[in-house]
Amino acid sequence: GSVSLGAIHLGSQYALQQGGNFPGAVATGGFKTEMTVNNAALDGQAGYMLFDLDVSGGLKANGNAGSARFMLLAFINDNPLMASAPGWNLGTGIEASTDRQMAVWEASSYPYPFEGDSQDVDETLTFSVPITFGTAFNLGIYGVSGVGGRNQSGVGSAHSDFSHSMYWAGVRGVLVNGQLIETGLSIASNAGIDWMKSLVPAAPPGTVPEPATLPLAMGAICLAAIGLRRPRRGVRGRVS
């Protein structure tokens, strides 16, 4: 994995062989920076800064009791952001805590036998930070990518691929007495980054698949073509 200010890229994977000993792999990373939210007309007033995180990646588990998860959480001055703050929105993530702003996505192949599970994630989360205009604070964003086996017997595997996991996606505004302030805001930071703006990379016009993905795409097209030409003798499936 890799981490920089405004971006977290993590991944982990494992493969369980017969008679293994509860294997697992975890990758963690994050960043912390000092900020001061300013608005000349609101100096000294309290509010909640709403900022977005763009999250994308994939989870997959198969075999005997494989599991994979990715978690995001945030801190102010080394204290966790509380879930009671207005404006907190974890999207389709699972609420990992009843009192903290923590979002989790997961996949699990349990129960036996060998029923795989996967989840693709591509969404935007909104975190809510209590601030006072004109007063500096430290904001920390952290991610955890983890996989593991929950059974010693059998075989299985799991991966958590968030190698393009998370980007800072800008500030929506500041809630003051229930009203969202979107204009007249600025953020002072010694990081040299304009945190008001999104840091999500823009895809160039006419973007084509990366070279590593081209063989997979061509293979899928070829298989689809073969499937169309080959007469079907019978179809079996499972509806869930």
Where residue 219 falls (left for φ over 0; alpha for ψ -120 to 50; beta otherwise) is alpha
Residue linked to tokens 């997979």: 216
Q: Average pLDDT in the 178-194 region?
A: 95
Check whether 170 has a pLDDT greater than 50.
yes
Which pLDDT belongs to residue 97?
76
The pLDDT score that the predictor gives to residue 210 is: 38
- pLDDT at position 223 is 28
Query: What per-residue confidence (pLDDT) applies to 151?
Result: 57
With beta carbons less than 8 A apart as the criterion, state whether 148 and 90 touch. no
* Coil vs helix vs strand at 202: coil
Average pLDDT over the chain, rounded to whole? 77
Q: What is the pLDDT of residues 73-114, one digit of tens each?
A: 999 999 999 999 999 998 888 877 789 999 988 887 765 545
Element (H, E) at 223: helix 214-229
* Nearest-angstrom CA–CA distance, 46 and 193: 23
pLDDT the model gives residue 105: 87
Proportion of the chain above pLDDT 70, given as a percent:
69
On whether the CB atoms of residues 121 and 57 are closer than 8 A, the answer is yes
For residues 166 and 224, which has the higher predicted lDDT (pLDDT)?
A: 166
User: What is the per-residue burial (b if ≥16 Cβ within 10 Å, else e) of 74-95?
Assistant: bbbeeeebebebebbebeebee
Tell me the pLDDT tens digit for each residue of 17-57.
655 566 677 888 899 999 999 999 999 999 999 999 999 88
Chain position carrying tokens 């300013």: 38
In this prediction, residue 2 carries a pLDDT of: 83
